[in-house]
Amino acid sequence: MTHALDGLKIADFSWVGAGPRSTKDLADNGALVIKIESRKRLDLGRMSPPFAKGDRKNPDASAFFAQTNTSKKSITINLADPQGVEIAKKLVAWADVVVENFGPGFMERIGLGYEQLQQIRPGIILASVSVAGKTGPLGQFRGYGNSAAAYSGSAEMTGWPDSPPHMTPFAYGDVVAPMFLTIAILSALEHKAKTGLGCHVDVSQIEAMAMCAGDLFAEMPAEKPANSDPLMAPHGVYRCEGDDAWIAIACETDAMWQALCSELGEATLAEQYPTATDRRTHRDLIDTHLSRLVAGWDKQALEQTLAKAGVAAAAVIDGKELSQHPDLRAAGHFLQIEHPVLGLCAMPAPPYQFSDTPFRVTAAPCLGADNREVFEEMLGMSAQEVADLTAQGALS
């Protein structure tokens, strides 16, 4: 079966989230992605919870790593060892693209900066992603995904009115930036196909997040909007019947508002506040009425009732409900993948479909699982050479 990126070769030095999420996209679509890791300094992703059977000491037990590194191969190279760096250069000579998200200057110090890569393989593409980019006044900035949330203004605008800056429960910059990194790599490949020239792709998490939310800064209200919307009203989440059961409702038009009130048996409410301006002016009162009216509803039943009436509404669900959602399962979103340590896992599939070149998702690799195949079969090293370098710590 043909995949969109068959034949593309990636040497993936990235770790944790921002780089691996991008190379996962490429691998799921057919690219051969070799992930370079080390037992001397584990990928933080392998140490990130949750763990299968709570086994924190097993580098192959992290569900975070398993989800972020599907469809790749793993080899171990100690980049602190000069012999290891020389092996890494052999992999560079094989690759079309090198991906990294190390701190400022690391790749140059070990002889794998962009100019050095061009000497090894002219025309190769180097793709870097970091909190603030590798060039310019912020080129030496050090941080993590939540640093980007703080620097980009995202944390400041998030939360309830009069509350301190709020962070999302995951590093949002590590999620947004990889999307831009993937697009940039594919653009660089197009450029190379036309000119034969490589380039250095440099993605900044801060700038990626600013690009997503920049319009909000143009007219940010003095008070944090929390769940409110500048145009739609009502727009929020409301508690339903049951333990911690909620539904999100948004009315864009007067017709939606009238339908909502009708389904909730309170048509007179629509007559009292017929326009969006009326509803925004009396937002708190509207929310109080809705909280009262939905309190006796099952959230799923209300979602279905409002959907049939043309009202935008969705039950608020948790991770377990999401993974078991019958519609997502029927759509084939969750793939059943057997992992050597985690067992049979429900992994999210790429959120798109190609008509002729479908993605293919395989289990994330165990640490160093592909050493023999890559070092001996791909790079032409002898088994004795690999054994000696492994014993010396260069391939560990």
56 Cβ contact partners less than 8 Å away, ≥ 6 residues apart: 47, 49
Of the candidates 12, 28, 96, 174, the residue annotated as catalytic is: 174
DSSP state at residue 275:
S
Distances (CA, A) of 341 to 141, 348, 367: 37, 18, 11
54 Cβ contact partners less than 8 Å away, ≥ 6 residues apart: none
Helix (H/G/I), strand (E/B), else coil: 359: coil
**Contact 101/62 with Cβ under 8 angstroms?**
no
Identify whether 174 is a catalytic site residue.
yes
319 Cβ contact partners less than 8 Å away, ≥ 6 residues apart: none
Of 301, 272, 281, the closest CA to residue 234 belongs to: 281
Give the bridge partners for 335, in sequence order: 347
Whole-number Å distance between alpha carbons of 201 and 126: 6
Q: Could you count the other beta carbons within 10 Å of the beta carbon of residue 47?
A: 16
**Contact 55/66 with Cβ under 8 angstroms?**
no
Q: Which structure tokens are listed for 299?
A: 């959230």
Q: How many residues are there in the chain?
A: 396
Q: Which structure tokens are listed for 18?
A: 């921002």
- Residue 32 belongs to what H/E stretch? strand 32-37
Active site residues: 174
